[in-house]
């Protein structure tokens, strides 16, 4: 690499038009309600960026932060520091806790009696139970006085303090999370560390001991309520050492490799000074805990026994690994644990095709790791790199100027890809339920109409998303274009679920295919899938648009699990989006004739749609039997009415309906469907928002005409819909409305009412909630085409001082823009990982500089402190019209030509040929005014 320094003329251009979207700047004061509109939050609440919320006291009760990789299952970190909901047994496992599994602290200081604590915050009410508080959670042992939880997915921290101890303990837990890298984001384990700070001037001896039940034999159904369980017996705990790692290795002599419950677990550490018990004393009554605890509390040292006899039949054992340290005055030590597991056998207990049930598959992670110890070793060996990139993600993502509840909405729901809602089988086959019942996935699999809404996987792990598209079109779509909207295992069996196709599912997948093609820039992928995608569009003409007038009619099964009839805003919008996407994809693969047909139908369709369905405030359903035929919406204001259009926005297809009507429609959805109080509302359906909560209804009938039995979810509140409407409101410039809707969701998930890392719809970790990622492009103005190699930002909030994470199919990083009053601004693009090839890059002026012309410009590319290329330019006043400033440079033997243009409030960088920005590089760009 070499450094280039060039001076050149930069000629600014006059303003052409103000951007249509108003970007309000946070003023730090409350907004008065405008024309009676609902403003449940102050501007400060909406726009303020900064630290994310923390949880304490009773708000810790519902917190369960999932720890685990893609397709590995998870164990959740409870708000108090407890490990809960062990979902590593190839099933969801809400309420599955491992008895007598906890971390404990021993603290000894000269002049004081030794103290012991379970390293958890105090238990929270209720304390009911027919035998008192569940004994297997050791409720009678002392705990830390105070715990404060704070999560920035994938990292969670709990600060623990106790007025009677000279220590502060911070628990940190995470599983490596590397955007665009599913392999390294798919490791079956968790890093759990305790940073212990001595707050006194006297040295302190500490032990932190992790105790854990060997659960092998448990098949994931029911719960484990004690050491005894019908499936236990032959559980073997051993103390194992390899390389720098030592710890507890757990296996079973009874469960054979071919059994569904087969597996291994490990609790290991690279720490040298350890104390341990391969298993607690097997006594009568409660001797085991009594003897363990008395041993531990006496001096913080265990008996260091590695007794290798397997457990008796129908019971298992707890083992303990303790880490010893001495901490000097005001000193600090970090004691690290690695928890890992391997339960390779994945049973298809759920198949949508009943006679396919019972098949056994292998988890993808089991292809990489022979057992839990192997994955612990891998984690240990590769942790520096894995952790560095995970922390870089956390740093870039959370040190953003997007409001914390938005970051929380994005990241907490992106975690769904790493819960039991998804799984990942050998050969990298990625599948997903809609969500999870407490103990089973539901409903199977890859449900096209639910997964339509999802954006997180598409942007963070696009290779997995593309695999889902291949399944949608290549496995699930019959030759006539009928897409079966649920997947049966194994793939390619040719067995289909016998049920009518979902109109929204089929058409939405075409828009999503366009998105995935754009994110990846991979036209080979498109070509592979396209022939079937084309069939799906053609199927529409057979079933739903026989007249090819661009209006959907007939029986339209959809994501509300019922059928709509007649032209309607929701399915019609999907169709328009699919036609538009189809026409562009057809063009790209050379199907010009098809492209033309799609475009013609699309043009007819949008005119018809606009004409037929518009009621002056929003778009409706036109069906003459709305009041008689059950489960329609008719004149209702449907929150999903613009869903197809929103998918098109995120995919980069832009608006296909009139912009003014879109804005009016979104405004109507907010006005009519966003509830700021549910206390007088009557909803006989399912309840996701109540009392004084706020939330967006699926539908309302502000002008009357509510059918006696409207569609079955009409009065419900789904976070997946709230997020896409919030995103769409922001796309259409209704910023505060969009932010309000998103904030309302996160306020409902406050740790007291619900778990912030588990948004519920028809199941836990419900995939639809991954629409939240759509808030990122809407708020940042991020737009990317890997096909055109075009990247743009146009922040909608905090534009004077803006930072955000971004990701594309090939890289991810940080985007920053900052104004320096009226004098200038700086823009920078950091490539944190991967690489980014660009032909064009565009940004916008913040409000303080709107209408101004740049007089100087500084442009550079750096790799850390090393300058790759750098240009400083003085600019003459503009003479009007558009003129390009051109930079010719050379980088690693490649010449490049960069054209810089101000086009109104938009600053464009265009490379004559695609330009490669490498990981670690920063592109910086500073116009002066």
Binder of a copy of itself out of 495, 754, 852, 906 (CB under 8 A):
754
Q: Which of residues 673-712 bind a copy of itself (CB under 8 A)?
A: 678-688, 690-691, 708-709, 712
Beta-bridged to residue 867, according to DSSP, are 862
Nearest to 717 by CA among 750, 693, 736, 739: 693
Q: Report the alpha-carbon distance of residue 616 to residue 635 in Å, rounded.
A: 12
Min dist. Cβ of residue 649 to a copy of itself (A):
29
Q: Report the alpha-carbon distance of residue 665 to residue 669 in Å, rounded.
A: 6
Judged by CB under 8 A, the number of residues near a copy of itself is: 71
3-state secondary structure 670-681: HHHHEECCCCCC
Binder of a copy of itself out of 209, 255, 436, 657 (CB under 8 A):
436
Phi first, then psi, for residue 393 (nearest 5°) are: -60, -50
* β-strands 790-792, 801-807 pairing: unpaired
Q: In the structure encoding, which two tokens stand for residue 853, read together?
A: 């012309």
Would you count residue 291 as binding a copy of itself (CB under 8 A)?
Answer: yes
Q: Decide whether 592 or 687 has the Cβ nearer to a copy of itself.
A: 687
Q: Decide whether 692 or 892 has the Cβ nearer to a copy of itself.
A: 692
Cis omega (within 30 of 0) on the bond before 111?
Answer: no
Q: Which of residues 731-750 bind a copy of itself (CB under 8 A)?
A: 748
Q: In the structure encoding, which two tokens stand for residue 61, read together?
A: 């009760």
Contact region for a copy of itself (CB under 8 A) — 150-158, 287-295, 304-312, 331-339? Answer: 287-295
Angle (nearest 5°) at CA 377 between 372 and 383: 120
Q: Report the alpha-carbon distance of residue 899 to residue 885 in Å, rounded.
A: 5
Cis omega (within 30 of 0) on the bond before 99?
Answer: no
Binder of a copy of itself out of 164, 388, 546, 897 (CB under 8 A):
164
Cα-Cα-Cα-Cα torsion 667, 671, 675, 676, nearest 10 degrees, comes to 100
Would you count residue 86 as binding a copy of itself (CB under 8 A)?
Answer: no
Q: Decide whether 690 or 835 has the Cβ nearer to a copy of itself.
A: 690
Binder of a copy of itself out of 110, 256, 294, 877 (CB under 8 A):
294
Contact region for a copy of itself (CB under 8 A) — 386-394, 437-445, 602-610, 658-666? Answer: 437-445
Q: Decide whether 130 or 524 has the Cβ nearer to a copy of itself.
A: 130
Min dist. Cβ of residue 135 to a copy of itself (A):
5
Q: Decide whether 32 or 126 has the Cβ nearer to a copy of itself.
A: 126
CA-to-CA dists, residue 630 to 572, 686, 687, 706, angstroms: 20, 18, 21, 11
Min dist. Cβ of residue 754 to a copy of itself (A):
6
Would you count residue 283 as binding a copy of itself (CB under 8 A)?
Answer: yes
3-state secondary structure 810-871: CEEEEEEEEEECCCEEEEEEEEEEEEEEEEEEEEECCHHHCCCCCCEEEEEEEECCEEEEEE
Q: Decide whether 12 or 755 has the Cβ nearer to a copy of itself.
A: 755
Q: Report the alpha-carbon distance of residue 759 to residue 750 in Å, rounded.
A: 11
Binder of a copy of itself out of 3, 30, 286, 555 (CB under 8 A):
286
Q: Report the alpha-carbon distance of residue 409 to residue 756 in Å, rounded.
A: 9
Binder of a copy of itself out of 84, 91, 94, 803 (CB under 8 A):
94
Q: Decide whether 561 or 903 has the Cβ nearer to a copy of itself.
A: 561
Q: Decide whether 628 or 659 has the Cβ nearer to a copy of itself.
A: 628
Q: Decide whether 62 or 736 has the Cβ nearer to a copy of itself.
A: 62
Q: Decide whether 259 or 752 has the Cβ nearer to a copy of itself.
A: 752
Min dist. Cβ of residue 665 to a copy of itself (A):
26
Q: Decide whether 388 or 630 has the Cβ nearer to a copy of itself.
A: 630
Q: Decide whether 140 or 547 has the Cβ nearer to a copy of itself.
A: 140
Q: Report the alpha-carbon distance of residue 278 to residue 236 in Å, rounded.
A: 9
Q: Decide whether 118 or 536 has the Cβ nearer to a copy of itself.
A: 118
Contact region for a copy of itself (CB under 8 A) — 80-88, 118-126, 300-308, 446-454? Answer: 118-126
Q: Decide whether 95 or 531 has the Cβ nearer to a copy of itself.
A: 95
Q: Report the alpha-carbon distance of residue 193 to residue 169 in Å, rounded.
A: 10
Min dist. Cβ of residue 94 to a copy of itself (A):
7
Residue 792, Cα to own-chain centre: how many angstroms?
22
Q: Decide whether 28 or 132 has the Cβ nearer to a copy of itself.
A: 132
Classify residue 820 as exposed, middle or buried by CB count within 10 Å of its CB (0-12, 13-18, 19+). middle
Would you count residue 499 as binding a copy of itself (CB under 8 A)?
Answer: no
Q: Report the alpha-carbon distance of residue 237 to residue 268 in Å, rounded.
A: 12
Min dist. Cβ of residue 286 to a copy of itself (A):
6
Would you count residue 443 as binding a copy of itself (CB under 8 A)?
Answer: no
Contact region for a copy of itself (CB under 8 A) — 48-56, 71-79, 433-441, 533-541? Answer: 433-441
* Residues 119-158: x where in contact with a copy of itself by CB under 8 A, - otherwise, as a string: ---xx-xxxxxxxxx-x--xxxxxx-x-------------
Would you count residue 470 as binding a copy of itself (CB under 8 A)?
Answer: no
* β-strands 189-198, 360-362 pairing: unpaired
Q: Report the alpha-carbon distance of residue 558 to residue 208 in Å, rounded.
A: 53
Under 8 Å between Cβ of 480 and 535: yes
Would you count residue 290 as binding a copy of itself (CB under 8 A)?
Answer: yes
Helix axes 404-414, 372-398, angle to 10 degrees: 160
| List of residues 6+ apart from 785 with CB closer than 8 A | 518, 521, 652
Q: Report the alpha-carbon distance of residue 194 to residue 103 in Å, rounded.
A: 10
CA-to-CA dists, residue 576 to 286, 654, 713, 864, angstroms: 67, 12, 24, 46
Binder of a copy of itself out of 172, 438, 610, 924 (CB under 8 A):
438
Q: Decide whether 143 or 671 has the Cβ nearer to a copy of itself.
A: 143
Q: Decide whether 167 or 842 has the Cβ nearer to a copy of itself.
A: 167
- Return the DSSP state at 625: T
| List of residues 6+ apart from 853 with CB closer than 8 A | 12, 13, 14, 875, 877, 878, 902, 929
Helix (H, G, I), strand (E, B) or coil at 655: coil
* Residues 41-80: x where in contact with a copy of itself by CB under 8 A, - otherwise, as a string: --------------------xx------------------
Min dist. Cβ of residue 58 to a copy of itself (A):
8
Q: Report the alpha-carbon distance of residue 619 to residue 265 in Å, rounded.
A: 55
* Residues 762-781: x where in contact with a copy of itself by CB under 8 A, - otherwise, as a string: xxx-----------------
Q: In the structure encoding, which two tokens stand for residue 299, read together?
A: 């001096």
Min dist. Cβ of residue 747 to a copy of itself (A):
12
Min dist. Cβ of residue 721 to a copy of itself (A):
14
* Residues 613-652: x where in contact with a copy of itself by CB under 8 A, - otherwise, as a string: -----------------xx---------------------
Q: In the structure encoding, which two tokens stand for residue 134, read together?
A: 């569940």
Classify residue 7 as exposed, middle or buried by CB count within 10 Å of its CB (0-12, 13-18, 19+). exposed
Min dist. Cβ of residue 521 to a copy of itself (A):
39
Binder of a copy of itself out of 755, 780, 798, 828 (CB under 8 A):
755
């Amino acid at each position: 690499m070499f450094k280039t320094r060039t001076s050149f003329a930069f000629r600014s251009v006059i303003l052409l038009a103000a951007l249509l979207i108003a970007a309000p700047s946070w003023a730090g004061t409350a907004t008065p309600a405008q024309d009676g509109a609902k403003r449940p939050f102050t501007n400060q609440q909406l726009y303020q960026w900064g630290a994310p919320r923390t949880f304490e006291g009773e708000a810790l009760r519902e917190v369960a932060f999932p720890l685990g990789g893609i397709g590995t299952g998870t164990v959740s970190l409870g708000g108090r520091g407890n490990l809960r909901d062990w979902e590593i047994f190839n099933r969801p496992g809400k309420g599955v806790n491992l008895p007598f599994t906890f971390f404990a602290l021993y603290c000894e200081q000269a002049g004081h009696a030794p103290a012991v604590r379970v390293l958890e915050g105090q238990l929270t009410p209720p304390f009911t139970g027919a035998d008192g508080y569940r004994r297997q959670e050791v409720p009678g042992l002392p705990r830390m006085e105070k715990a404060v939880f704070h999560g920035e997915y994938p990292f969670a921290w709990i600060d623990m303090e106790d007025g009677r101890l000279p220590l502060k303990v911070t628990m940190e837990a995470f599983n490596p999370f590397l955007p665009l890298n599913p392999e390294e984001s798919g490791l079956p384990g968790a890093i759990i560390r305790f940073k212990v700070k001595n707050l006194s001037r006297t040295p302190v001896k500490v032990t932190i001991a992790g105790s854990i039940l060997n659960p092998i034999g448990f098949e994931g159904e029911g719960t484990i309520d004690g050491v005894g369980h019908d499936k236990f017996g032959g559980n073997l705990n051993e103390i194992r050492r390899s390389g720098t790692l030592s710890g507890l290795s757990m296996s079973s002599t009874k469960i054979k490799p071919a059994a569904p419950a087969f597996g291994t677990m490990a609790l290991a550490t690279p720490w040298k000074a350890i104390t341990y018990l391969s298993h607690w004393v097997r006594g009568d009554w409660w001797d085991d805990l009594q003897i363990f605890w008395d041993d531990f509390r006496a001096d913080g040292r265990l008996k260091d026994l590695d007794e290798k006899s397997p457990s008796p039949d129908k019971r298992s054992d707890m083992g303990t690994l303790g880490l010893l340290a001495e901490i000097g005055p005001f000193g600090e030590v970090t004691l690290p644990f690695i928890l890992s597991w391997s339960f390779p056998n994945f049973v298809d207990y759920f198949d949508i095709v009943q006679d396919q049930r019972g098949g056994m598959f292998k988890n993808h992670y089991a292809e990489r790791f022979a057992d839990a110890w192997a994955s612990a070793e891998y984690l240990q060996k590769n942790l520096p790199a894995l952790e560095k990139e995970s922390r870089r993600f956390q740093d870039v993502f959370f040190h953003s100027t997007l409001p914390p509840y938005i970051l929380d909405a994005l990241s907490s729901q992106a975690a769904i890809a790493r819960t039991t809602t998804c799984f990942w089988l050998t050969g990298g086959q990625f599948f997903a339920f809609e969500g999870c019942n407490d103990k089973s996935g539901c409903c199977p699999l890859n449900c096209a109409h639910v997964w339509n809404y999802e954006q997180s996987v598409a942007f963070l792990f696009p290779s997995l998303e593309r695999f889902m598209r291949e399944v949608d079109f290549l496995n699930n779509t019959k030759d006539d274009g009928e897409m079966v909207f649920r997947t049966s295992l194994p793939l390619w069996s040719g067995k289909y679920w016998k049920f009518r196709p979902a109109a929204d599912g089929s058409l939405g997948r075409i828009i999503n295919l366009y998105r995935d093609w754009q994110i990846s820039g991979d036209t080979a992928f498109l070509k592979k899938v396209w022939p079937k995608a084309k069939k799906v569009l053609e199927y529409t003409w057979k079933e739903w648009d026989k007249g090819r007038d661009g209006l959907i009619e007939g029986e339209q099964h959809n994501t509300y699990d019922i059928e709509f009839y007649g032209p309607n805003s929701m399915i019609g919008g999907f169709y328009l989006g699919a036609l538009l996407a189809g026409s562009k994809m057809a063009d790209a693969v050379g199907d010009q004739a098809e492209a033309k047909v799609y475009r013609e139908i699309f043009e007819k369709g949008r005119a018809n749609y606009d004409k037929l369905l518009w009621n002056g405030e929003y778009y409706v359903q036109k069906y003459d039997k709305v009041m008689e035929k059950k489960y329609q919406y008719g004149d209702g204001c449907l929150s999903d009415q613009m869903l197809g259009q929103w998918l098109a926005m995120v995919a980069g297809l832009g608006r296909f309906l009139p912009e003014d009507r879109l804005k009016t429609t979104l405004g109507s959805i907010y006005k009519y469907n966003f509830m700021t109080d549910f206390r007088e509302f009557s909803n006989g359906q399912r309840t996701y928002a109540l009392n004084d909560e706020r939330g967006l209804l699926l539908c309302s009938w502000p002008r009357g005409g509510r059918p006696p039995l409207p569609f079955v979810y009409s009065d419900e509140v789904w976070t997946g819909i709230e997020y896409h409407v919030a995103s769409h409101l922001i796309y259409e410039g209704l910023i505060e409305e969009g932010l309000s809707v998103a904030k309302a969701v996160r306020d409902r998930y406050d740790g007291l009412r619900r778990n912030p890392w588990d948004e519920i719809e028809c199941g836990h970790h419900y995939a639809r909630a991954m629409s939240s990622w759509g808030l990122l492009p809407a708020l940042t103005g991020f737009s990317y085409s890997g096909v055109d190699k075009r990247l743009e930002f146009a922040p909608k909030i905090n534009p004077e001082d803006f930072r955000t994470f971004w990701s594309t199919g090939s890289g991810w990083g940080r985007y920053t823009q900052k104004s320096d009053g009226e004098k200038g601004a700086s823009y920078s693009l950091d490539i944190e990982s991967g690489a980014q090839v660009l032909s064009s890059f565009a940004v916008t002026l913040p409000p303080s500089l709107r209408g101004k012309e740049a007089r100087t410009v500084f442009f550079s590319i750096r790799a850390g402190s090393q300058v790759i290329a750098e240009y400083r330019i003085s600019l003459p006043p503009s003479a009007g019209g558009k003129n390009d400033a051109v930079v010719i440079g050379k980088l690693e033997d490649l010449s490049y030509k960069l054209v810089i243009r101000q086009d109104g409030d938009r600053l464009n960088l265009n490379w004559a040929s695609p330009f490669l920005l490498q990981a670690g590089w920063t592109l910086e760009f500073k116009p002066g005014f």
